[in-house]
Structure formats: C-alpha cells, structure tokens
Amino acid sequence: MGSYLYIDNRQAGLRNFSGELTRVQIQYLESTGYLQKFMLSGFHEPEFYISGKQQDIDRFLSLQKSISTDLATLRKHAERNNIHADKQLENLQRLSAQTITMGAY
C-alpha cells in the first residue's frame, strides 16, 4: 500500500509538472504571435515611435515576463520532485530574461 501511494504521488507530481510546462509552451507560442504581428505591422504605427508603446509588442513583453516567472516556479517544482531538468529550465529562464531586457530598449 505504501509503494502504491508513493508511486501515485510521484505520478501526480509529474502530471502537474507536465501541465505547467505545457502552459508555458502555450504562452511562448502566444507571445511569438504577438511579436510577429508587431513585426508585420505594429512597428509602422507612428505612436510607437513617440511613446515607445504598441499593443502587440507590449503583450509580447508581458507574456515574456510571465514566462520567466513561470519558469522559476517550474525549476522549484522540478527540484522538489527530483525531475532533473534544472539546468535546461535555468537556461530557458536566462534566455527569457534577456528577451525582456532587450525589449526594454
């Protein structure tokens, strides 16, 4: 009975981790869509050059911030559940932070 509960708990943790990772992937795809919309038409908007704001690029950067936060949460979840993905998640988090920094210029 104890073995069953342990395995069931581990499986639940893995399902939760997988669900969180899928959510981050969806956010990334959504953010990429906003970046593409900006690159196609948003940068033509005169207001962007005055204020530095544009709906699509702002949404892209907002999602990137959310992704960075979610990746930090995933790293903690991976550590707690002995999922050896810490280095990969750390690299993704670093890249996301660089994207945010570059977008602020």
Over its length of 105 residues, how does the chain's per-residue pLDDT go in tens digits?
Answer: 888 788 888 888 889 989 999 999 999 999 999 999 999 999 899 998 999 899 999 999 999 999 999 999 999 888 888 888 888 888 888 888 888 888 765
Ramachandran region, residue 71 (left: φ > 0; alpha: ψ -120 to 50; beta: rest): alpha
Task: Please state the pTM of the whole predicted model.
Answer: 0.79
